[in-house]
Amino acid sequence: ASYEFIETSEPRPGVGQITLNRPKALNALSTPLITELNTALLSFDRSPTIRTILLTGSQKAFAAGADIKEMAPLTFSEAYTTSFIESWSSLTTAIKKPIIAAVSGHALGGGCELALMCDILYCTETANFGQPEIKLGTIPGAGGSQRLSRAVGKSRAMELVLTGKGFSGREAYEWGVAARCFGSWEELMEGSLKTAETIAGYSKVAVMAGKEVVNKSQDLGIRDGVEFERRVFHSLFGSEDQKIGMKAFAEKKKAEWTDK
């Protein structure tokens, strides 16, 4: 498929990369861009060869937010009746393969929220995160207040949302928002691709189950969450790959996954 605001590639075996590519607007997330992003994500999710998805922007900007110029004239009734922004959540609801966000430069407002929706967040030390919506007379609208609170705690999330002040990639890492931070764009991309490739090398069914159970922890209490995890764990004894993986260990061989 050919896209106007994103680029897709397969930089490593099993790894599908989506690059936000609207450089003149610092990758501002307009509705047409999000539509393309959803199309690309769904197509990677359905692809028999892609096993892990890497979402990135440019060195300068992951994404500088939702498109302010598109939002400026929007009325309440238009936003409400068209479910404005709701389509962004297909990233978290429809996609079963893991998505790694590689964030460099600006990740502001909706850009920060998009990164927070991904399964693993990597960034550069100097990445510029923030929820500056308050400066525009509004608030986060794509889950930022909820996901940030869970990641950094209520008080810090409140401070970020109410002051609009940014936080660095280094801080994102120290606070547990990012799994890793890197000294340069090159290291970020190499590190992200390496992790994507590692995950792509495992059993697809186990990887999807792992993603599902970790994500459930964000919605369920500990008791229901542990029970959910155990049920999914039990179900994996029905997969071929569990037999293959454990037999390979016992025989000191490399597992050859069948994805069954």
Select the residue interacting with ligand HXC from 45, 68, 208, 244 (CB under 6 A).
Answer: 68
Select the residue interacting with ligand HXC from 15, 20, 28, 200 (CB under 6 A).
Answer: 28
Select the residue interacting with ligand HXC from 140, 199, 200, 203 (CB under 6 A).
Answer: 140
Interface with ligand HXC in residues 100-119 (CB under 6 A): 106, 108-110, 113
Select the residue interacting with ligand HXC from 101, 120, 142, 157 (CB under 6 A).
Answer: 142
Residue 169 in contact with ligand HXC, rule: CB under 6 A? no
CA–CA gap between residue 259 and residue 202 (Å, rounded): 9
Nearest residue (CB) to ligand HXC, 142 versus 188:
142
Q: Give min distance, CB of 164 to ligand HXC, in A.
A: 8
β-pair type (61-63, 106-108): parallel
Residue 14 in contact with ligand HXC, rule: CB under 6 A? no
Give me the helix-helix angle, 204-216 and 240-250, nearest 10°: 110
Select the residue interacting with ligand HXC from 7, 25, 89, 187 (CB under 6 A).
Answer: 25
Residue 57 in contact with ligand HXC, rule: CB under 6 A? no
Active-site residue, 245 included: no
Cα separations in angstroms, 237 against 20, 142, 240, 241: 39, 37, 8, 9
Residue 160 in contact with ligand HXC, rule: CB under 6 A? no
Q: Measuring CA to CA, which residue among 35, 49, 36 is closest to residue 8?
A: 36
The kind and range of the H/E element at 68 are helix 68-71
Structure-token match 């069914």, residue found: 205
**Exactly one of 28, 40, 66, 115 is catalytic; which is it?**
66
Specify the stretch interacting with ligand HXC by CB under 6 A; choose among 67-75, 96-104, 216-224, 230-238.
67-75
Select the residue interacting with ligand HXC from 45, 87, 90, 136 (CB under 6 A).
Answer: 136
CA–CA gap between residue 160 and residue 169 (Å, rounded): 14
Q: Report the length, in residues, of the chain.
A: 260
Select the residue interacting with ligand HXC from 132, 189, 203, 205 (CB under 6 A).
Answer: 132
Active-site residue, 110 included: yes
Q: b/e map of 20-53 (b: 16 or more CB within 10 Å)?
A: bbbeebbbbbbbebbebbbebbeebbeeeebbbb
Number of shown-chain residues binding ligand HXC (CB under 6 A):
21
Q: Give min distance, CB of 100 to ligand HXC, in A.
A: 21
Active-site residue, 113 included: yes
Tokens of residue 250, six digits: 């016992």
The torsion defined by the Cα of 69, 113, 32 and 9, in degrees rounded to 10, comes to 130
Active-site residue, 66 included: yes
Instruction: Output the residue with the shortest Cβ distance to ligand HXC.
Output: 109
- Provide the 10 A C-beta neighbour count for residue 95: 19
- Point out which residues bind ligand HXC (CB under 6 A): 25-26, 28, 64-69, 85, 106, 108-110, 113, 132-133, 136, 140-142
Q: What residues act catalytically?
A: 66, 110, 113, 133
